[in-house]
Structure 1
């Protein structure tokens, strides 16, 4: 449970938070014992605000930077409620459902919850894509207290009548903004009507796009909003910098940065699956201890790569945005954005893989001429200018203009699933074909 070791922020009292100790919250003895065993006494700011409200049964809309302990913020009150519920779960049923957008994040959540329930009768099950659905059907046959799932695999199991969600009385949507971006809004609309009522719903994220406001109105009832940092703000202990350089110079610059501290854990983000794999193979060929994770890797390969990175068998992990929210390794010292993300929010989540649990970290980004607009979107979101480590933005801007004259401007940014759906509906009415003039 190392990921829960963040202390209260130094400005917590100055911001007017009422600070609790965990043993003041009236949690079940098994939970206070698990927290004490992990060396935890005080909640982080998001936990401090969310846990008392969640224990009272309120729906929660929680906003906090990555690495600040959101899992514990919903996990503690969720487990406390379940411990007070009599009876075992019936076959194929669950009492609580936690939805996460990626396999890595779902695995991380399940691991954390199991750490809290180790001395209880609470059962935690996980179902994600990339694993045997037959085994998952067998797992759910016994029923479970907490089901952690990715939306796609959960719907597969629902369609096979392998799970009955009618007994779910607690729903958690973790990283809900990414669910919107990945188009999971359709999945949520299939899942929500199958859940039991009344229920408590908790929605947590590090960013707050407008579409998530709409999501909260649709799925939460009179929610209590808790926020410990402006949406889109990076953790205070992350040192950020940007290098302006042309694309062919990126490989050399990356190797220069990696060579400064060969023992440090460094997470390198690429934009595409093919690009991540090619970059990793090039680093291995040059003698760097590297591995990769992306959508073309099997779940077993991804799990082994993350374990090797966590165990320091591998010190450089090259990844796509599949890992932007699914890796919680406190020892990550550096995040390198080899390519800037097309979705500005993902920059915040990427760099949030470092400076976790109260530690310090460094985020280094490369910006090629064609990525200038992506950088502007990121800085607009964060309301800061990232310090320049090398190169000049003015030179980049002129290069970008030359590139635009040579061809059409490149589209930057992916639309979220919710936005795409709205736009599709708005253009559903076809235009009438033009009449041809008589010859």
Structure 2
């Protein structure tokens, strides 16, 4: 086992000996230079070495394995006598499978006839995917249980042809309950193959996987902080009570004091729909992302968000995994709970693009969850902001998080900057927020959950064949529509000038008074995209506005 040398010449993509077709696809994606993990991993992979790579979320790990896999397949095509499965990509969730598949398709855009790839993670019958596997695609992507099911159904045979195995987000594979599946799956693979393990952390589970899968690997343990640099990611916190959280999020969004695309994290599905129904009453569209929705709908929501069709996703960052030590009574209780997808994990790995802000409406229960939530923004070279609402009960979580992440920011600086403004400035919004909250009852939340699940299932099943024939119509399917389980009051959708504090009135207009809320939520304009690229902090404007009078007095 050897450690990769951190020093040496900085490589560019054209220095790596990549196929012209692959370089053309990389240029088309706008990647001017490799990230640190790509620069280290790709040359070693092309030499045939096994790789164990640890790099933080958003560092480009997917391309770090996808590029050498495609390159090696293109090389093998020159002397191959027959078509066969050459690479197996294993990820712990359906969303990550979909994401890896999209990345491979993008990277093979100039050689799609030579390199075929299929994603078999979808919730369809095994027989429906059998024809795809009978064509022996070069790359097969799936979850461990799905791949094993196809092998046992004799739809997939890998003993002779397989050259490469990739396990992405390796630290999640065992925690998602795949340990037995992985061990069985490995018995169906050839004895010799090149392996890649990509992970955000080097946990005990990853070390166990390393022993099972890797042979004398190169370990790429990149010396970088768990979070992006402070000049790329700005982290704020606001100390507020439970009721204040709703007032704050309403004010920030309605007055457009938070600009760009935002992900709002909560800790449960109920909170997800409670917040969605609350915002709905003020005419603020948002879509909910949770484990109860069909996987096709979840992937479609993420794709449309990435394409700019809407600006706000409310994500329930929760897991619904059974532990091996559960008692019968606990299992009986769980039967009463609505069915959730065990392969769901929204804060991990999913590639949300151009996210300007992550808002922790509920602070996460542990440091890892915070890192992965915040990792949805400030990806690659983009700027990002993380804003956490902290109640008295959540203060110990914040303090623990700051202690654990002390090494990730310069000495003498606080990790979480106080988001300073006077709550009394937005007192005028409080009574409106209370009116809206009274309407969001438990019954309304339950009905909203059921209504959206039924709607998404109908869209997913009944319209599947229609959308296959009419792909353009699929783009018109929106997930941020009002659920109408709460009676809305039209006057709440408008903000009269007398409610807006003097220090924020210029922010409300900002030279953009002509733009309506409806226009704002159609997605970022060219001007807004340039705004994001200027490395501006979307929240600074509000911070400074709130402190304007205080600074003048000083």
C-alpha displacement at 1:376, in angstroms?
A: 4.4
Deviations 1:8-58 (A, max 9, x none): xxxxxxx74521121111122221222233343421111111111111111
1:56 aligns to what? 47
1: CA distance between counterparts of 2:229 and 2:122?
31
Does 2:418 correspond to 1:389?
Answer: yes
1:124 aligns to what? 117
Give 2:189's match in structure 1, choosing from 176, 189, 195. 195
Task: Judge conservation of contact 1:265–1:332 (CA < 8 Å) in 2.
Answer: yes
Counting only pairs closer than 5 Å after superposition, residues 305-320 of structure 1 correspond to structure 2 as 305-320=301-316
1:293 aligns to what? 289
C-alpha displacement at 1:88, in angstroms?
A: 4.0
Counting only pairs closer than 5 Å after superposition, residues 281-430 of structure 1 correspond to structure 2 as 281-321=277-317, 322-383=345-406, 386-389=415-418
2:248 aligns to what? 253
2: CA distance between counterparts of 1:381 and 1:97?
36
Deviations 1:217-238 (A, max 9, x none): 3321111111334463445511
TM-score by length of 1: 0.78
Does 2:273 correspond to 1:277?
Answer: yes
Does 2:272 correspond to 1:243?
Answer: no
Task: Judge conservation of contact 1:169–1:195 (CA < 8 Å) in 2.
Answer: no
C-alpha displacement at 1:338, in angstroms?
A: 1.7
- Label 1:270 to 1:89 Cα distance change in 2 as closer, same or farther (>3 A): farther
> Please, which moves more after superposition, 249-258 or 355-364?
249-258
Paired positions, count: 374
Question: Counterpart of 2:174 in 1: which secondary structure?
Answer: helix
Question: Counterpart of 1:194 in 2: which secondary structure?
Answer: coil
Counting only pairs closer than 5 Å after superposition, residues 172-191 of structure 1 correspond to structure 2 as 172-191=166-185
Task: Judge conservation of contact 1:325–1:349 (CA < 8 Å) in 2.
Answer: yes
C-alpha displacement at 1:377, in angstroms?
A: 4.5
> Please, which moves more after superposition, 17-26 or 375-384?
375-384
1:154 aligns to what? 147
Deviations 1:386-435 (A, max 9, x none): 324259xxxxxxxxxxxxxxxxxxxxxxxxxxxxxxxxxxxxxxxxxxxx
1:28 aligns to what? 19
2: CA distance between counterparts of 1:327 and 1:25?
27
TM-score by length of 2: 0.63
Q: CA RMSD in A?
A: 2.4
C-alpha displacement at 1:111, in angstroms?
A: 0.8
Structure whose CA Rg is larger: 2
| Bigger share in strand | 1
2:428 aligns to what? none
Counting only pairs closer than 5 Å after superposition, residues 136-147 of structure 1 correspond to structure 2 as 136-147=129-140
Task: Judge conservation of contact 1:206–1:231 (CA < 8 Å) in 2.
Answer: no
Task: Judge conservation of contact 2:169–2:349 (CA < 8 Å) in 1.
Answer: no
